[in-house]
Amino acid sequence: MNAHRLPTGTSATIPTCTRISALGTTSSCAPKSSSPMRWRVWLALAAAAGLANVASAAERFCENDIVLIDTHFEAGAFHRCDVRDGNFVITIRPEDSKVQVPMPWYAFRATPKRPGDAVVLLGFVGAEADRFWPKVSRDGVTWYRLPDQAVAVSSDNKRLALRIALTEAPVLIASQQIVTTSYYDAASRRLADRPDVAVRLLGRSIHGRPIVVAATGDKPQAVLLLGRQHPPEVTGALTMHAFVTALLDDSELAGRFRESFQIITVPLLNPDGVAAGHWRHNAGKTDLNRDWGPFTQPETRAVRTLLAGLEDRGVALRLMLDFHATQLTETHLFYTQRPQDGDGRAHAFAAGWLDRVRQRLPDLRFDHRPSKSASANAKNYFFDRYGIPSITYETGDETHPDWIETAAPVFAEAMMRELLDP
Ligand SMILES: [Zn+2]
């Protein structure tokens, strides 16, 4: 039983905007603000903190007499790190010049040489500095939002100054909680232990990383869940994990659902981008969510092979959910078909599904945005090819993990009910 799970029929008050606080409790999001006065004070502090630098112009690491900073771990990424006039200056820019979406992923480790405060200046190219609020972790598992008083934003919103309190252990600093292939490997191993779930290799990324599919037993109809086309969209990954967990739990509803529907999940479509700390693309400099139809990349082609197998076996796909994350004031956002698309049933499913969630969680703020575009994204591809509800399931970048754990099972249960008893 999930500790955050709400009893059936009750509702919870969910703040519209929550973040991880330094103490791990929720706090309301502060409005965006920059503080030029404080920024100048910070620069003076930074200059005083690291004057005895012993290295400069390093790329993947740099150090002074207080701390060594590096990115030599999976998803560790920045463009470069320099020590200038005693200050750490880290430049953050997208992985290639075609990236247009300003989701500035960065992740680095600060290993102290002695206890003290390190001041790190981050400069952003192609994104606003406060697009993600910096997160910190000592163990890579539990993540905290850096306290407001430890972060200063420049008046042009292109630079951040971070003050990092160092004791003896290294700390990880990242734009979002780091969720890499080891997280997915652990989830796959847990699923592979279940007699009713088959985990297998679906294909490989450009760099040869596995793309794994986990599926329950064959049924005449199936639902398909896709995840992590876009590397920085970590809250979408956490939502997908909680959602799938609810579909696979031992409730009467989930058992009944699995009697009628095969559940097929491909949780990590862009392992190369995740491992390299990309903002958007795979290793082929391609936005995978613009490759549904062209199928120029091995990651999307792997799913096309899966679909061909379903068609060969006469399995009817009933629903596709594609998990993403974005900047939101609401907790979630759903892009669905419009009432006038096709015979209207795809929109009707989405409306019915989300209405069920509203009845369970009337205070949960989420947005339903029926839309149609010419984009070669998964939503359009699956609707055009199969005429099924094809939904982009967005989670807010700063939606608190506890609320993700609370809301995702409610969305999962509502989805199962809407498919079983429309
Ligand atoms: Zn996305």
Does the residue 10 lie in any domain? no
- Among 322, 272, 265, which Cα is nearest to 297's? 272
Q: Give me ligand 1 centre to Cα 325, in Å.
A: 6
Which pLDDT score is estimated for 116? 87
Which pLDDT score is estimated for 383? 98
Handedness of CA 381, 199, 299, 133 (dihedral sign): positive
Q: Give me ligand 1 centre to Cα 166, in Å.
A: 34
Final residue of a structural domain among 127, 158, 174: 174
Does the residue 8 lie in any domain? no
Asked if 97 and 195 sit in the same domain, the reply is no
Q: Give me ligand 1 centre to Cα 378, in Å.
A: 11
Task: Say if the ipTM goes beyond 0.85.
Answer: yes
Q: Scan for tokens 């799913």, then name that residue.
A: 303
Asked if 398 and 270 sit in the same domain, the reply is yes
Q: Extract the residue ranges of the chain whose pLDDT is less than 70.
A: 1-59
Does the residue 308 lie in any domain? yes
Residue 70 DSSP SS3: strand
Which pLDDT score is estimated for 59? 66
Final residue of a structural domain among 117, 148, 174: 174
Q: Give me ligand 1 centre to Cα 240, in Å.
A: 13
Q: Give me ligand 1 centre to Cα 380, in Å.
A: 14
Contact yes or no for 253/412 (Cβ under 8 A): no
* Euclidean distance between CA atoms 164 and 168, whole angstroms: 12
pLDDT tens digit sequence for 109-124 = 999 999 988 899 999 9
Tokens of residue 201, six digits = 């290799």
pLDDT tens digit sequence for 253-276 = 999 999 999 999 999 999 999 999
Final residue of a structural domain among 174, 204, 230: 174
Angle at which helices 401-420 and 252-260 pack, to 10 degrees?
Answer: 50
Asked if 194 and 77 sit in the same domain, the reply is no
Residues 6+ apart with CB under 8 A from 149: none
Range of the domain at 287: 181-420
Q: Give me ligand 1 centre to Cα 213, in Å.
A: 20
Q: Give me ligand 1 centre to Cα 332, in Å.
A: 13
Q: Give me ligand 1 centre to Cα 232, in Å.
A: 8
Q: Give me ligand 1 centre to Cα 93, in Å.
A: 18
Does the residue 5 lie in any domain? no
Tokens of residue 387, six digits = 């005429």
Q: Give me ligand 1 centre to Cα 135, in Å.
A: 20
Residue 79 DSSP SS3: coil
- Domain at 341, CATH number: 3.40.630.10
Residues in a beta bridge with 226: 266, 322
> How many domains does one find in the chain?
2
Does the residue 261 lie in any domain? yes
Q: Give me ligand 1 centre to Cα 185, in Å.
A: 21
Q: Scan for tokens 């200050």, then name that residue.
A: 87
Q: Give me ligand 1 centre to Cα 223, in Å.
A: 20
Q: Scan for tokens 């419009």, then name that residue.
A: 338
The one-letter amino acid at 166: L
Asked if 275 and 353 sit in the same domain, the reply is yes
Which pLDDT score is estimated for 332? 96
Q: Give me ligand 1 centre to Cα 321, in Å.
A: 12
Q: Scan for tokens 């659902």, then name that residue.
A: 257
